[in-house]
Amino acid sequence: MTRGRSAERRVLVAGGGIGGLTAALCLARAGWRVVVFEQSQTFGELGAGIQITPNAANVLHYLGLQSSLRTCASQPAAIEFRHWRTGKVVGVVRLGEAAISAYGHPYYHIHRGDLLRILVEAAERSPGVELRAGAQVRGFRRQDAGVRVAVADGAAEREREGVALIGADGVHSAVRTALFGAESPTFTGNVAWRVLVPTTRLAPGDARTAAGVWFGPGRHFVHYPVRGGELMNCVGVVRKSGWTVESWVEPGDHAEFHADFAGWHGDVQALIDNADRGSLHKWALYDRRPLRDWGDGPATLLGDACHPTLPFLAQGAAMAIEDAAVLASCLGTGQPEAALRRYEKLRQARTAMVQRLSRRNAKLFHLPAGAAWLRDRALRFGLRATVARIFRYDALRAVR
């Protein structure tokens, strides 16, 4: 294959999840042509909810997605932290207008499918972005001033050229394996249940119709409305063994989910009882230490591919979105390989800090009774500082 002139301005992205699509939009805005390869037959995701915090909303607004977000995301007034059995509120994070005035951008709750649709539609409108579904990145080779990527496209395997390859291909990243070999993640001992509950099945006015995080010994439960309040997204995390599959698509057994939260407050029970059983999934949570290197030559990683983050701080996708903005700013300045190394350097400390804080929360959320009392008292003081540290980061200015 001869090297086409257009390859000089083309960036190849493996993975069309939240990170890969946001990267494509940021890069296109910076003047790059971008090809996104997604292994699934369609862009979009089987989904439940996702929390988009102000540090991530900042980037999505910069991409012009504010009005689309407004139509299908909700902006919670607050998140309440509660005792698992009594329902007593032990801590509150004020959001809504308070989040906008403190951090400059809103806090959104949104269905993942809606967020992905918004990103895909924006990519389809962008003349610089080419979306390729059913295209699995298999490997890559370095070549003069760029990269050649092997993509399985149905029965055929093709090659595409670009100046850089961004591995935004998630927790089981093929690009990361090609760069650094197979990894060996550690099972955290926690399993996450995810389910959606139609809110018409719930009584109005209860705590269960708002955003809440319930702390209990060895487990916690999170719920918040998505799709304009039509559905309640629920995540229950339980310390347990016997399940090691790390995937969004593994179905879960409702009786087991129910048993995991036996004895919990009636509001949590009502959510579990009214859950849409077809939407119940089970995901084993694995931990990975921060990677020393994220890339080499014309290839780098982004999002879960390089810093998978436990879901105890709702920051995994936010970190991928921040990465995308910083990567595009770096690629806008100077020689591509040097720009990729600069991006990695700018992002490593922050994403490692968020991985560490999420890991710490995995312990704090599940403390037994005595220690939990101390945690709940400390929550009143510690929460605001942690939240500010995460929400105030401005990915659009990180390079400057």
Ligand X SMILES: Cc1cc2nc3c(=O)[nH]c(=O)nc-3n(C[C@H](O)[C@H](O)[C@H](O)COP(=O)(O)OP(=O)(O)OC[C@H]3O[C@@H](n4cnc5c(N)ncnc54)[C@H](O)[C@@H]3O)c2cc1C
Q: Which amino acid is at 17?
A: G
What is the Cα–Cα distance from 289 to 355, expressed in whole angstroms? Answer: 8
Q: What angle do CA 219, 220, 224 make, to 5 degrees?
A: 155
**Residue pair 193/282 in contact by the 8 Å Cβ criterion:** yes
Comparing CB distances to ligand X, the nearer of 60 and 346 is 60
Comparing CB distances to ligand X, the nearer of 129 and 314 is 314
Comparing CB distances to ligand X, the nearer of 40 and 75 is 40
What is the Cα–Cα distance from 191 to 282, expressed in whole angstroms? Answer: 7
Residues at the contact surface with ligand X, assessed by CB under 6 A? 14-20, 37-40, 50-51, 136-137, 168-171, 174, 192, 194, 235, 283, 303-305, 309, 311, 314-318, 320
Residue 111: in which H helix or E strand, if any?
Answer: strand 108-111
- Token pair in block for residue 159: 């090659």
Cβ 111 to ligand X shortest distance, Å: 11
Residue 221: in which H helix or E strand, if any?
Answer: strand 219-226
Q: Which amino acid is at 317?
A: A
Comparing CB distances to ligand X, the nearer of 85 and 172 is 172
- Token pair in block for residue 118: 């918004």
Choose, from 224, 286, 343, 393, the residue flagged as catalytic: 224
Annotation marks residue 393 as catalytic: no
Cβ 93 to ligand X shortest distance, Å: 14
Cβ 335 to ligand X shortest distance, Å: 26
Backbone angles phi, psi at 12, to 5 degrees: -105, 135
Name the nearest CA neighbour of 111 among 48, 197, 186: 48
Q: Per this entry, what is the length of the chain?
A: 400
Cβ 284 to ligand X shortest distance, Å: 10
Which residues, 6 or more positions from 370, have their beta carbon under 8 angstroms from its beta carbon?
none
Cβ 380 to ligand X shortest distance, Å: 23
Comparing CB distances to ligand X, the nearer of 150 and 270 is 150
- Token pair in block for residue 330: 């770096």
**Residues catalogued as catalytic:** 224
